[in-house]
């Protein structure tokens, strides 16, 4: 289960980087709605998901009281890409170092000391790392479309790129 997940992370991280590369420096503070993250905040959040969630999954439990849910605003696309590369490397190291026993060990999610759920650690990596990353990558592709930035191929073709043409 570890090797396929590691392979998926590497493949999807490459796709994510292509999307992040499209984020324009001059639009980092743009947001589609007052309640939405800015483009820069969303991109940096996406970039840091693998490393941040790996650090959380390395523990036996996590309490939301320890979290800062206010994403910082980056100053450049280069900052986002650098953060992404470091984040992916940290996740690859963590996932690659897991034993089957540690991957299946229980991990607890708490809210102010109260257990919300317990899952195998591998479940955290699947849902809170990988699926969370895909969710925000999809959001970012919509942000790019809204500001008329060509959306790269993610799976198959996009309206702007066709790898099959």
Does 151 map to a domain?
no
Structural domain range at position 83: 2-146
pTM of the shown model: 0.94
Does 155 map to a domain?
no
Interior angle at CA 163, CA 39 and CA 10, nearest 5: 60
Taking a C-beta distance cutoff of 8 angstroms, is the pair 160, 151 a contact? yes
Query: What is the model's pLDDT at position 99?
Result: 95
Query: What is the model's pLDDT at position 28?
Result: 98
Give Dmax over CA atoms of the chain in angstroms: 54
Query: What is the model's pLDDT at position 38?
Result: 97
CATH number of the domain at 111, please. Answer: 1.20.120.450
Give the H or E element holding residue 156.
none
- 24, 8, 27, 4: which is closest to 16 by C-alpha? 8
pLDDT by residue (tens digit) across 13-72?
A: 999 999 999 999 999 999 999 999 999 999 999 999 999 999 999 999 999 988 888 889
Total of domains in the chain: 1
């Amino acid at each position: 289960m570890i090797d396929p997940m590691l392979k998926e992370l590497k493949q999807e991280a490459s796709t994510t980087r292509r999307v992040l590369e499209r984020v324009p420096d001059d639009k980092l503070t743009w947001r589609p709605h007052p309640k939405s993250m800015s483009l820069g905040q969303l991109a940096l959040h996406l970039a840091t998901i693998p490393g941040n969630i790996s650090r959380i999954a390395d523990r036996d439990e996590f309490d939301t009281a320890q979290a800062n849910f206010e994403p910082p605003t980056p100053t450049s696309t280069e900052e986002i890409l650098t953060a992404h590369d470091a984040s992916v490397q940290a996740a690859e190291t963590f996932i690659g170092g897991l034993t089957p026993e540690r991957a299946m060990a229980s991990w607890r999610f708490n809210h102010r000391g109260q257990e919300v759920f317990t899952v195998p650690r591998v479940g955290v990596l699947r849902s809170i790392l990988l699926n969370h990353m895909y969710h925000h990558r999809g959001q970012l592709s919509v942000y790019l479309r809204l500001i008329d930035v060509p959306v790269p191929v993610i799976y198959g073709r996009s309206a702007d790129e066709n790898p099959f043409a």
